[in-house]
Amino acid sequence: MNKPVEAGLGGTHFIRIDPQRSEFLVPRWAFTDPAVLDKERAEIFGRCWIYAGHASEIPKSGDFVARKVGGRQLFLWRGEDGAVKVYFNTCTHRGAMVCREKQGNAKRLTCPYHGWTFDTQGGMVEQPGASGFPDGFFDNGAKDLVSPAQVDVYRDFMFVNFDPAAGDLRTYLAGAAEYLDLVADQGAQGMEVTPGEQVYSMRANWKLLYENSADGYHAITAHASYFDYLRATVGVFREDFNPHDVGGGGKSLGNGHAVIEYQAPWGRPVAQWVPQWGESGKQEIARVRAELSARLGDERADRIANWNRNILIFPNLIINDIMGLTIRTFQPVTPDYLEVNAVSLAPRGEHAEMRAWRQYNFNEFLGPAGFATPDDVEMLELCQQAYQNMPEVGWNDISKGMNRPDNNQGDDEVQMRSFWLRWDELMGAAR
């Protein structure tokens, strides 16, 4: 890994900050150096709370879902007692993956290699040829499935931490908890992940996608075709929409988390009507809005209904609460390659018409073949390719808005600086 570029209080720093010039610079080798990714796996993905899934994905006893989380193969399994468990997807015998299906339901899972069988509590309950092992070999859970060091849930959002010494989840979430509440409060009966998922990859560093996910500065340029489409489509924007007055801005939420929040110019199934949805849609939106106001009060209902928010939870959870509601995670594979998974979240019991619009928006804008995501993939891959121009051009500039810290605009870069300050803290700390 490249040597640090600055020394400062509290350890070694890799970024450059010049308050007098209002300048914030990030070294481009942070996106290309394999040693950087190795250290990120240890210091960030190995020590931070990582989103693992939503409790609604496994509603019934025996339900399970398997996925990669923080570079580890895990599966979530709801026990017969109703509690959600998380296990490393590896047999304690010779290491084969125990859970071979992406999702399903089972009271027991059997390793396909040698037949060791485990129940929903992770207990090893059966093994062929048991006489070949001494008495007491399996006692006291010695060969049970292994769980991450810490597992915790906030408002049905499930997180794991591989560091037994890490602090608690609620403290880690800091100001991001408020925004998870805004998401979870949208459904009177709770929220649920809808069927289907988006799975894709790109030739770019994972940190580029984190930055891009709450970057208001690129929208008009990179997504020009989408805005042209919206202008040409009757009834997509709300009737009082002024493209020059969406309000809001970005802010840091602590611990590397951040958000950009602004008035929604388009329809939101919860709960802002646009003419495109017709009179029946108008009636349903009015009903949803009334329910929100009765349950949460007018002020909170307005914030939920009429404001977009892109929520960034360090290091790799993005919640796009915009014309739809998307949970997106991504996993670094190499310094220049990442894998992305996205699902749609919706209120339980949502009217079928609003659910249809929600799913349409999920695919139209954010899907891998939608209006936005292909643009973003192209831009991030162009960045990654251009990082070959080192050392001659060695720094990314993330300074926009530093000259007005108390008046952040929607196209400023405070969200990215929040990420990089936390990244720098974790990566530069002496261990």
Mean pLDDT by 10 residues, the chain (431 residues): 43 83 95 96 97 98 97 96 96 96 97 96 91 88 96 98 98 98 97 95 97 84 74 66 65 95 87 89 94 98 94 97 94 97 96 92 83 90 94 94 84 92 85 38
pLDDT at 368: 84
User: Using CB atoms within 10 A of its CB, is residue 199 exposed (0-12), middle (13-18) or buried (19+)?
Assistant: exposed
Provide φ and ψ at 181, rounded to 5°: -65, -40
Single residue among 100, 135, 170 that ends a domain in this structure: 170
Single residue among 140, 170, 200 that ends a domain in this structure: 170
Number of domains the chain is built from? 2
pLDDT at 247: 67
Please report, for the domain that includes residue 211, its CATH number: 3.90.380.10
Residue 192 inside a domain? The answer is yes
pLDDT at 35: 95
Asked whether 128 and 115 are in contact (CB, 8 A), the reply is: yes
* 132 & 272 share domain: no
Range(s) of the domain holding residue 286: 185-428
| Structure tokens, 313 | 């939870």
pLDDT at 406: 79
Element (H, E) at 27: strand 23-27
| Structure tokens, 284 | 């349903």
* 105 & 214 share domain: no
Residue 180 inside a domain? The answer is no
* 140 & 260 share domain: no
* 155 & 225 share domain: no
Which distant-in-sequence residues (6+ apart) come within 8 Å of 52 by Cβ?
Answer: 67, 69, 74, 76, 86, 151, 158, 159, 160
Q: Is-above-0.85 flag for pTM?
A: yes
Single residue among 170, 201, 217 that ends a domain in this structure: 170
* 70 & 126 share domain: yes
* 260 & 164 share domain: no
Residue 376 inside a domain? The answer is yes
Residue 274 inside a domain? The answer is yes
pLDDT at 264: 81
* 373 & 310 share domain: yes
Please report, for the domain that includes residue 78, its CATH number: 2.102.10.10
* 250 & 106 share domain: no
Q: How far is 93 from 69, CA to CA, in rounded Å?
A: 22
* 250 & 300 share domain: yes
Residue 1 inside a domain? The answer is no
pLDDT at 365: 79
* 193 & 111 share domain: no
Residue 210 inside a domain? The answer is yes
Residue 234 inside a domain? The answer is yes
* 166 & 105 share domain: yes
DSSP for 221-267, written as a single string: HHTHHHHHHHHHSTT-B-TT--TT----EEEEEETTEEEEEEE-SB-
Residue 420 inside a domain? The answer is yes
* 398 & 279 share domain: yes
